[in-house]
Amino acid sequence: MSLIDHLWLYYRSYVDVPLTAPAIYRCRFEAHISGQKRELTERLYAASLDLKLKDCLLTFLEALTTDSTFQFLDYFSIWVSEMSCVDFTGPRLHETLELLNFNDLSYYQYRQQILAGCTAPAAEKIGYLHAERSRLIALPLTDGLACNPRWPSLKSMLCGWMAEEIAFLNEMHKLTANEVFSAQPEKYPLNVSVAHLACFLKVFVMSDLTGTRNLSRLFNFVADHFSSKRQGRISARSLSKEYYGTTQVTAAKVQGMLERMIGEINRLYFP
């Protein structure tokens, strides 16, 4: 234990941070942080917060498992310490979570819903999203600090989604009601949901299989020419939402589809 403490304190850059922490180390960590964690949990239960946000934060407080890595334990400690100083009735809650790069998908989706739920006229909403995006772009991030290192930062996910939302609103703002519902080209049906289609698009984009990285253009083209398993008419906005909010469950389903496709290739060409 003393050796691990010494390595973590003085030679952190040499420690394999994604490595699962030994059970004895994790138990000592939990015992050390239990008091602060309990106080924060009680404050969250008593706070007048949106239920979805409260559930997201309380769920994270119970995220320590036998698979927790050194990196996660370090992040968890910083998160609990910083959140313990936050006044939940003030504006600093979301600012603190942004600075902590709390890129938990449930929190990202909550923020997405709040931003999308603005009921102001299109021009005002565009201005609001521009201001929020500019604020986030200027946000300083600490290297290596992330709730989930496998995902992009909260800042990049929200800024990317807001850019697509702004582009969508700008386009819709320019169209008249007649133009919005003008004749559409015949759509080719796909036997996948919008979420799975968005995940496929992300894989194509990240693998450089598309001729452009202009996501707005890609979402508009796919929405104009394809229909999903459950929706005859899909929108670029719904594709954008699912693209930036892909869950592990959706990714696992798409992974299974890709494995079946590889199986077909093997059967046809490598018997």
Cβ atoms < 10 Å from Cβ of 215: 21
Q: What is the pLDDT of residues 79-135, one digit of tens each?
A: 999 999 998 877 789 999 999 999 999 999 999 988 888 777 878 888 889 999 999
Domain boundaries, the chain: 183-271
Q: Which of 56-65, 183-192, 200-209 has the lowest mean pLDDT?
A: 183-192
DSSP conformation letters of 87-134 = -TTSTHHHHHHHHTT---HHHHHHHHHHHHT--S-HHHHHHHHHHHHH
Task: Give percent of the chain with pLDDT exceeding 70.
Answer: 88
Q: What is the pLDDT of residues 121-172, one digit of tens each?
A: 878 888 889 999 999 998 888 888 899 988 899 999 999 999 988 888 887 7
